Amino acid sequence: MILTVDIGTSVLKAALFEKNGTATRRAEFPIVLLPNPDPLRREVDAADWLRGLRSVAGQLGLAAFPARAGSPALEAVIISGNGPTLVPVAADGTILAKAMTWMDRRGVEEARIVSEKRGKYTDPAFTLPKALWLFRHERSIYDHTRHFLSPPEFLTYVLTGEALTFLPTPQYKESIMWDEEAVEMLGMDKGKFPPFCAPGAMVGKVGAVGSAATGLPVGTPVIAGAPDFIVALLGTATVRPGRACVRSGTSEGINLCSTVPANDKRLLSVGHLAEGLYNVSGVISTTGKALEWFKNLSGKTETSYESLFEEIAAVPAGANRLLFLPYLAGERAPLWDPSARGSFIGLNLNHGLADMTRAVVESVAFAIRDVIEVMGENGLAVSDLRIIGTPSKSAIWNQIRADVTGRRILVPVLQDADLSGDLCLGLFGLGEYPTIAAASEAVVRIGAIFEPRPEMTTIYDELFPLYRQSYRGLREVFTHLSTARSLT
């Protein structure tokens, strides 16, 4: 059996797989996003990751896993997680501060400094601005830090005692992550940033300390994982040009498998784990989170999402000429604007909650289309969208995405693509397949397909330019709301 673990923003998930890709058991543990009055700060308690791993190990009965032929019956564990999220850890393993999640954008000034030093744009959400923020504003924490780690790197460190940075491809050094030259230019200690390790590499084995902390059997091999948006490509078989993966959940990540990179600062272009290919991507900050926010705000906290979607199914496409901008925590691709705000556009006395809810749902699809339109402007064709995550369980929302984007929506049988992607890394690391891509093609199966309906796509073709124009018209207003001193 192979154990895969994924540390999400709101839940830590785990599954036990057989080598043929069959998931035999599954478990999860909730992760709480900590409240903060500062809209740019989004933190979690990294100790929740450790509590979560121990909890799922118990739920899966791994503490009592028997030995087989003198070795653990558990053949490997692979951990992935959200990112870029950063936690500072002391030499003795103590967590020194709350983890700065991928949604945390407090380091706006630090991102400007990093961008200037590097000569290329770096977003406040990325690793270096977060570390630099601690260096400039929490010097005691920075000085006591021995390792800066992401969620999967932290748990791997606890299990094995090995501090490593999981590097999907070299290009990630100069984009989302860090490189030694930039660290030194910024005056920080490169020794606080662990050495790089390729996903799928054998890291070590669960030690006595790691076993005591998590309940996993001593001696279990630990294979390097990757950021969740990387393993999701494997878990959806987004390993051929034209295929794109949409990771739906709190946020939305659109990752296109391409033969060439995109030379456009609105998109991220890095190497793919499938050799010779590229991962061209854009990340939307608040999508499922936007719907959750509006659901609670409108007094429907106890209403199931299934009922909510049944309500909006009765609302015409276009939400009766109502638009919503889902920029509730700033926006990343393709705007890269931390000051962007959420807004309803076109409200009138005839609109009700169902119209507003549908507008929020449609806005997510518009945001996805915004990203893939930019990809198209760069000559990169998107043939289909392979969607995963909790929102993808809604047939209504999947159909809306297909209608708005004009692309087929493919839903894998196993929705926990982060976990099945981890399995692909594990199978490759154990030598079961010659390449990671081969493992992906063997493991992934598609369960449902949603075709765009031309009559609906025509409606959204008319609204999409207005969606884009709404942000452009409000951009200066958003900036002033975020920076006006008299409003603080």
Would you state the pLDDT for residue 64? 55
How many whole angstroms from its chain centre is CA 114? Answer: 23
Rounded CA-CA distance 311/318 in Å is 15
SS3 182: helix
pLDDT digits over 365-415, tens only? 999 999 999 999 999 999 999 999 888 889 999 999 999 999 999 999 988
Percent of the chain's residues with pLDDT above 70: 97
For residue 123, pLDDT over 80 is answered with: yes
For residue 263, pLDDT over 80 is answered with: yes
Rounded CA-CA distance 390/332 in Å is 21
| Preceding amide of 334 cis, omega within 30 | yes
pLDDT digits over 303-332, tens only? 999 999 999 999 999 999 999 999 999 999
Average pLDDT over residues 277-289: 94
Angle at 178 between CA 175 and CA 182, to 5 degrees: 100
pLDDT digits over 144-160, tens only? 999 999 999 999 999 99
CB-CB neighbours of 120 under 10 Å: 11
For residue 488, name the pLDDT band (cuts at 50, 70, 90): low
For residue 247, name the pLDDT band (cuts at 50, 70, 90): confident
Would you state the pLDDT for residue 171? 84
SS3 81: strand
Burial of 39 per CB tally in 10 Å (0-12, 13-18, 19+): middle
Rounded CA-CA distance 84/281 in Å is 14
Average pLDDT over residues 345-366: 98
For residue 251, pLDDT over 90 is answered with: no
For residue 68, name the pLDDT band (cuts at 50, 70, 90): very low
For residue 47, pLDDT over 90 is answered with: yes
Rounded CA-CA distance 222/270 in Å is 26
Strands 67-68 and 196-197, bridge-based pairing = unpaired
What is the chain's alpha carbon radius of gyration, rounded to the nearest angstrom? Answer: 22
SS3 364: helix
Tell me if 313 sits within 8 A of 320, measured CB to CB.
Answer: no
pLDDT digits over 187-199, tens only? 999 999 999 999 9
Strands 243-248 and 384-388, bridge-based pairing = parallel
pLDDT digits over 407-464, tens only? 999 999 988 899 999 999 999 999 999 999 999 999 999 999 999 999 999 999 999 9
Higher pLDDT, 242 or 120: 242
Rounded CA-CA distance 29/141 in Å is 28
Domains and CATH numbers, the chain: 2-226 (3.30.420.40), 235-487 (3.30.420.40)
Rounded CA-CA distance 422/425 in Å is 5
Task: State the amino acid at position 229 in one-letter form.
Answer: F
Would you state the pLDDT for residue 418? 92
Identify the helix (H) or strand (E) that includes residue 231. helix 228-235
Tell me if 325 sits within 8 A of 470, measured CB to CB.
Answer: yes
Closest Cα partner for 214 from 1, 5, 424, 427? Answer: 5
pLDDT digits over 464-477, tens only? 999 999 999 999 99
Rounded CA-CA distance 363/395 in Å is 17
Extract the tokens encoding 451. Answer: 């075709």
Would you state the pLDDT for residue 39? 85
For residue 344, name the pLDDT band (cuts at 50, 70, 90): very high
Would you state the pLDDT for residue 69? 42
26-34: long-range pairs with CB below 8 Å, 24+: 26/416, 27/55, 27/56, 27/59, 27/60, 28/56, 29/53, 29/55, 29/56, 31/7, 33/9, 33/101, 33/103, 34/98
For residue 486, pLDDT over 80 is answered with: no
For residue 289, pLDDT over 50 is answered with: yes
Task: State the amino acid at position 312 in one-letter form.
Answer: I
